[in-house]
A and B are shown apart, each in its own frame.
Chain A
């Protein structure tokens, strides 16, 4: 049972445009969410996070939006750059634990 879902396995975007990556979750006991970027044969690296008490968090070109009623979060990358091409994972943490649950990932390709 996949509690964190990324329904788009891949996404292609033109350089300079906005990339929007989506993530849905089913467990209302998740209280913290993170986005990670991963290149092949490497460990994921942290991008940005958001607490469930907020609905938006920005860090440079990256913004994460959280819609708790819809159990949906999204990562916006503006402007997209070729170096952003990677697999992006969203993750959620179960309240009161340190258990991180990851989604299936979305492969982003930014075209020059």
Chain B
């Protein structure tokens, strides 16, 4: 089945450690996205990528980094510079280069910093 797979679903990290969240899609979508969800703040855009080897900062990119070496993969690294990393992280993808359409989301990864 086509879809978006995020891993791990739950992750615990000590303060000062970097952690990488995986996102893989087999929908052949060009564009991929990372959002963060916090209570009462909705979904905030961290980074997005419209094509391989290119990505743009979203509204809250500080303390995060991404790479887009393959069309199907868009990993997110939460660095120690991110001051409040505990959150629910969502990866999404969409078709690019044609009519704008819906975003397809993964199941999410919950990161807790101890």
Contacts and interface: CB of A to CB of B under 8 A. Distances in A.
A45 B58 CA distance: 21
Q: Is the interface of A mostly helix, strand, loop or mixed?
A: strand
Interface string A63-101: 000000000000000000000000001010100001111
Contacts of B101: 49
Contacts of A31: 100
Nearest to A45: B105
A15 B110 CA distance: 32
B58 to A, nearest CB: 8
A32 B99 CA distance: 10
A98 B43 contact: no
A103 B110 contact: no
B40 interface: yes
A51 to B, nearest CB: 8
Contacts of B31: 98
A45 B105 CA distance: 7
Nearest to B10: A41
Interface of B: 4, 31, 33, 35, 40-45, 48, 50, 56, 58-59, 88, 90, 92, 94, 96, 100-108, 110
A89 B96 contact: no
Interface of A: 6, 9, 31-32, 34, 36, 41-46, 49, 89, 91, 93, 98-105
B42 A103 contact: yes
Contacts of A9: 40
A100 B103 contact: yes
Nearest to A102: B43
A89 B48 contact: no
Given A41-B88, A105-B42, A98 B48 contact: yes
A99 B105 contact: no
Contacts of A36: 103
B43 A43 contact: no
A43 B37 CA distance: 10
5 contacts: A44-B43, A46-B102, A99-B45, A100-B33, A100-B92
